[in-house]
Structure 1
Amino acid sequence: MSMEPHVLAVDDSLVDRAVISRILRSSKYRVTTVDSGKRALEVLSLDRSVHMIITDYCMPEMNGYELLKRVKESAELRGIPVVIMSSENSPARIRRCLDEGAEEFLIKPVRPSDLSRLCSRLY
């Protein structure tokens, strides 16, 4: 059983998923990427090893805020930190996500320094 932290990255953009997973893997994280909030919840129901969720805000079907709410409403999942990313710097949206329990709100493009700062807080 490897002890590298496991991050679930959720983004409907293939490019953004690739960027996030490359940054995380270079920092020695194990990364699982999915393209929707629905898939994220499926992964979380099957895999109890996730240490952090990093999700895009704007996605079809279920946005990052809705995914955050589902995680924080679940007794099993609520302990997992959720980080939200968005290309829009909307103070109201940021405040709403943080009020709902998001660990952090990152403005895209996400930089390696954003993630290393986050990760140092988590472990």
Structure 2
Amino acid sequence: MIKNTIISLIASETGSDRAKFSWFKPAKGQFQIYYKLGTEQPEYVPDFVAETDSAIFMVETKARTDINTQEVQAKAAAAARWCKHASNHAATVGIKPWRYLLVSHDEITESKQLIDFIRFEVK
């Protein structure tokens, strides 16, 4: 439900032209994002990726009580680093930047717009 609401909000920013919006649920191994947690380096797979006419958003939704846990913050740092590298490459070839959003589940309501979620970008 929460992911569907965010997807709908991002899609609404593209107006009626659905061709300007796409999203997918990444598969394990698709991005190869690894984070350090203690002595382990598990793989992180974001909840979903959504593309608008101006950017590609890698999005993770979490319960507010989990946002500041060591594991969630380690995943966010790794994903933000991945997005930074992807954006740097994108700039050299003239394509859209990548942005990582870590959104608390209680921030997601149908009355919000995409601009309301940009403040959750992790850089």
Q: TM-score scaled to structure 2, two decimals?
A: 0.41
Q: TM-score scaled to structure 1, two decimals?
A: 0.41
